[in-house]
Amino acid sequence: MSISSNTPKASRQTIDFNADWQFQLQTANQTTIEADWRSVTLPHDWSIEQPFSSELEGATAYLPGGIGWYQKSFDMKELKKGQRVFILFDGIYNNASLWLNKQLLGKQHYGYSPFYFEISQYLKPSDNQLKIKVDRSRIADSRWYPGAGIYREVKLITVNPVHIPIWSSVVDSIEINQGFAQILHKFKVVSEQLNQRIQIDSHIVELHTGRPVASYQHQATLSNKEQAFAFSCDILQPKLWSPDSPTLYQMTTKLTAGSKELDCITTRFGLRDFHFNSQQGFFLNGQATKIKGVCLHHDGGLVGAAVPEAVWERRLTRLKEAGVNAIRMAHTPSSEVLLSLCDRLGFLVQDEFFDEWDFPKDKRLNMNEQHNDAASRGYAEHFQTHAKQDLKNALRAHINHPCIFMWSIGNEIEWTYPRNVEATGFFDANWNGNYFWNLPPNSPQQISNKLKTLPHHNYDIGKTAHQLAQWVREEDVSRPVTANCILPSVSYLNGYAKSLDVIGFSYRQVLYDYGHQHHPQLPIISNEALPQWHEWKAVSERPHVAGLFLWTGIDYLGEVHQQWPTKALAAGLLDTAGFKKAPYYLFQSLWTATPMVQIHNQVFDEERFVYKTDSLSLEERDPQAWKRKLWIWPEQQQHWNFSSNQLIAIEVISNCQEVELQLNGRTIGSKQLADQADRMFRWALPFQPGELVALAKNNGKVLATHRLSTTQAASDLVVTLEGAPLQKGQPGYQHLVVQLADSEGKWVSHQNTQLSFELTGPAELVGLDNGHPASVQAFNASHIDTHQGRALALIKYTGEKENILVRITTPEGFFKVQRFILE
């Protein structure tokens, strides 16, 4: 590969360095790495390419780790004397060692933070050899599925001797009001030549329109090898960034000496004003705003950890349609691709740094340390020596993203420090309460007394939290520091909460009033909450709770200890294929104003339900059960095909005042939302073929309708393209949703079959998924069994101007050919 610029006079070159890599997975008995290389394009996750195995760990989705090697050859013939070259990695999982021309560049243990190395001193004009070893031989080292390899993007950056260092350009808002915004642009300039005179020119445009909005110019003398600058600038009639209106700006900054351009960088940013109030919650741009958030893990289902932008965009768009306005990146720093999408689409983001600190977590079990073998040890081994750099790298790389409104220094850390668990009394053998629903058995005074007598076990959580928060504030004081506290009753008292600007609760709705009463000065947010109505009810009724993040927005790989063949935790609003589940519609009904209605059903379960034959009404046997529901919803059906007279439980979700249920044009009954404590409209019917219809009404007027019709046997396939369409000559991705259909084209979701895919033309089949958490078919196979009569395919277009044909066949003989005209 030869590195050259399309614009030879450019003072800075940032090159996509993702192509033309070679890879091999080292086998257990392998002693050489000089053979059996295969070509790959980054980002690349080798773990997701492997078969699932019951012999592996459910914590990381029963997929293997291992040791992988990457190598890349490239020339730098156009490099000028004095120019400096850096290689920037957004993430390698994990324990990476990097060599250039047999010289060790360095190592990077943490798999989730970006990092870079200067490589100028090791470069040759031609035949440069970059080699990277990635050691993920510990197969249960993260919570949860981490992937393996160079799973995020790589860039090669060439600059002149005088330049602005990587991650040093920061735009802060000093003041924002209705017609005026003042920003502060902070950056550094590096120069080996002292006393050089330079001109600094910055111009700001509105990104979407290109409209110029502000500029500044300044002359300076470089008196130090690294010199810091800060200049203010005014923007009139600014457009503020928010989830509803995510306006972005772009600043272009040039350094010149006479007629020579020394450097030119762009910095994207947004203008917004926000704060937390311990009595009234969260305010964005002057408006009280409830956080309607979800937690997301970093995997993308069938693509594993190497998630293309198109995959994230499809998923985020779907969450946006449900009214989600915020995302917690659980439990590690996010990719640049995902954060940029959140900027553009409009999601507030809580960026989280670590899942473990001084002490390791048993990745197989939560809050129950039983294993101390090497396979389940992770970042805690490197925390003491590398946490500062890893935290600061992530923060500096992400600081200009307007979507980020909180930094989280840790997730559920308390239980790794034994004294915290013991002080609460929750886990005393003689306590008969329930962690989720009962107040702490020990009073604040009793907890304080216990903390005075219990040993510290080498590390103190309060001191560590203070250090982490201090490192954050050394870089950024514009955003609050938070953490996800699973034992807040002790975190308030052990020094942990003293380091936080906002305390985050993990499944502790029972403590919203307790925390507010005992510590009224500290704002509260629910950083992790169950995907149930009772969680949102508790938040919506309390102004002092800023909002919540549901666990989770999307089903994710891992966290399924000894549950083979279940490979993913099904706690999401969407499944791993991005298909909507019942809780999706519940929160859409809570978080959006557009009238909606959705029918789900299942075979009547007499252990759960009571059926009233006179009114055909259905009730849960325990009328208070909804208040104690946890993560996993019963699997719901979306069809009207059952055995004759089989009793079917029907559950309808709507945000309208009234729902009327009809079967074959006959009204079964009407119910008022105000009468449904759990917001579920329920009926039970002996099955009769035909059409089941739910009519959602406000003031008697039908505003939304959902229909389920009895279908014939599947005899056809329907293909729906999702996401942006492929463009001729432009590499990209396309999602294909394939559904079984009857002769009338209706979705047949009660039948399943195997789909086989064959592609011709300039495209490859990236993977297949049916969304079922217990499906252990390889994602990269060319065939898949459907679940609920459908499956998802992802194809990658390589950019050549030729047509693509996707042929999809079934054992029953019906098929579909999807054509993409790209000549």
String of DSSP letters for 420-486: HHHHH-TT-TT----TTTS--SS-HHHHHHHHHHS--TT--HHHHHHHHHHHHHHH-SSS-EEEEES
Average pLDDT in the 570-579 region?
98
Average pLDDT in the 153-158 region?
98
pLDDT > 70? residue 33: no
Average pLDDT in the 733-744 region?
97
| Cis previous bond, 94, omega within 30 | yes
Rounded CA gap, 609 and 631, in Å?
20
Percentage of the chain beyond pLDDT 90 is 86
Cα–Cα separations (whole angstroms), residue 247 to 321, 479, 644: 19, 19, 55
Tell me what pLDDT residue 307 has: 98
State pLDDT tens for residues 681-719. 999 999 999 999 999 999 999 999 999 999 999 999 999
**Long-range contact set of residues 100-105: C-beta below 8 Å, sequence gap at least 24:** 100/128, 100/129, 100/130, 100/131, 101/128, 101/129, 102/129
pLDDT > 50? residue 5: no
Tell me what pLDDT residue 65 has: 96
Average pLDDT in the 66-81 region?
95
Average pLDDT in the 392-400 region?
98
Q: Range with the lowest mean pLDDT among 40-54, 114-128, 452-466?
A: 452-466
Tokens of residue 383, six digits = 């925390």
Return the CATH fold of 593-709.
Immunoglobulin-like (2.60.40)
Using DSSP, state whether 697 is helix, strand or coil.
strand
Rounded CA gap, 783 and 791, in Å?
10
Residue 147 near residue 106, CB atoms below 8 Å: no
334 — pLDDT class (breaks 50, 70, 90) = very high
Tell me what pLDDT residue 458 has: 87
376 — pLDDT class (breaks 50, 70, 90) = confident
pLDDT > 70? residue 612: yes
Mean pLDDT of the chain: 94
Direct distance between the N- and C-terminal alpha carbons of the chain, in angstroms, rounded to an integer: 28
- Going by DSSP bridges, is the β-strand pair 790-797/732-741 parallel, antiparallel, or unpaired? antiparallel
Tell me what pLDDT residue 6 has: 42
Tell me what pLDDT residue 368 has: 64
**Long-range contact set of residues 281-289: C-beta below 8 Å, sequence gap at least 24:** 281/523, 281/543, 281/544, 281/545, 281/546, 281/547, 282/523, 282/525, 282/546, 282/547, 284/242, 284/348, 285/176, 285/240, 285/242, 288/543, 289/325, 289/547
pLDDT > 60? residue 388: yes
Rounded CA gap, 20 and 819, in Å?
29
CATH architecture type of domain 170-269: Sandwich (2.60)
Average pLDDT in the 6-19 region?
82
Return the CATH fold of 13-159.
Jelly Rolls (2.60.120)
Tell me what pLDDT residue 34 has: 63
State pLDDT tens for residues 749-760. 999 999 999 999
Q: Can you spell out the DSSP letters for 625-691?
A: GGGG--SPPPP-B------TT-EEEEEEEESSSEEEEEETTEEEEEEEGGG-TTS-EEEEEE--SSE
Residue 91 near residue 335, CB atoms below 8 Å: yes
Q: Can you spell out the DSSP letters for 150-190?
A: S-S-EEEEEE-SSBPPTT--EEEEEEEETTEEEEEEEEEEE
Which of these, 770, 759, 771, lies nearest to 819 by C-alpha position? 759
Rounded CA gap, 61 and 59, in Å?
6
Q: Phi and psi of 679, rounded to 5°?
A: 65, 20
Rounded CA gap, 306 and 678, in Å?
39
pLDDT > 80? residue 325: yes
Average pLDDT in the 24-32 region?
72
Rounded CA gap, 334 and 548, in Å?
19
Average pLDDT in the 738-754 region?
97
Q: Phi and psi of 123, rounded to 5°?
A: -80, 150
Q: Phi and psi of 153, rounded to 5°?
A: -75, 155
Tell me what pLDDT residue 345 has: 98
Rounded CA gap, 251 and 50, in Å?
44
Using DSSP, state whether 393 is helix, strand or coil.
helix
Q: Range with the lowest mean pLDDT among 215-224, 290-299, 422-431, 793-802?
A: 422-431
Rounded CA gap, 37 and 25, in Å?
9
Tell me what pLDDT residue 1 has: 65
Instruction: Give the residue range(s) of CATH 3.20.20.80 domains in the chain.
Output: 274-569
Instruction: Give the residue range(s) of CATH 2.60.40.10 domains in the chain.
Output: 170-269, 593-709, 716-820
- Written out in words, the top-level CATH class of the domain with range 716-820 is mainly beta
Rounded CA gap, 254 and 268, in Å?
15
pLDDT > 50? residue 133: yes
pLDDT > 90? residue 381: yes
State pLDDT tens for residues 479-535. 999 999 999 999 999 999 999 999 999 999 999 999 999 999 999 999 999 999 999
- Say how many residues make up the chain: 823
pLDDT > 50? residue 194: yes
Rounded CA gap, 326 and 318, in Å?
13
Average pLDDT in the 250-278 region?
97
- Domain 274-569 carries which CATH code? 3.20.20.80
pLDDT > 60? residue 243: yes
Average pLDDT in the 114-139 region?
97
426 — pLDDT class (breaks 50, 70, 90) = confident
Q: Could you tell me which residues come within 8 angstroms of residue 330 by beta carbon, excluding any fewer than 6 positions away?
A: 295, 296, 297, 352, 411, 484, 528, 549, 551, 552
Which of these, 604, 640, 663, lies nearest to 749 by C-alpha position? 640
Strand locations in 50-179, DSSP E? Answer: 66-74, 84-89, 96-100, 103-108, 115-118, 128-136, 154-159, 170-177
Cα–Cα separations (whole angstroms), residue 240 to 68, 247, 323, 670: 45, 6, 20, 44
Using DSSP, state whether 279 is helix, strand or coil.
coil
Rounded CA gap, 49 and 766, in Å?
10
- Going by DSSP bridges, is the β-strand pair 154-159/128-136 parallel, antiparallel, or unpaired? unpaired
Average pLDDT in the 51-76 region?
96
Report CA torsion sign: 270, 276, 282, 284.
negative
Average pLDDT in the 8-25 region?
91
Which among 372-376, 632-636, 652-656 has the top mean pLDDT?
652-656
7 — pLDDT class (breaks 50, 70, 90) = very low
Q: Could you tell me which residues come within 8 angstroms of residue 802 by beta carbon, excluding any fewer than 6 positions away?
A: 761, 762, 822, 823
Q: How many alpha carbons fall within 13 Å on the CB side of residue 796?
A: 13
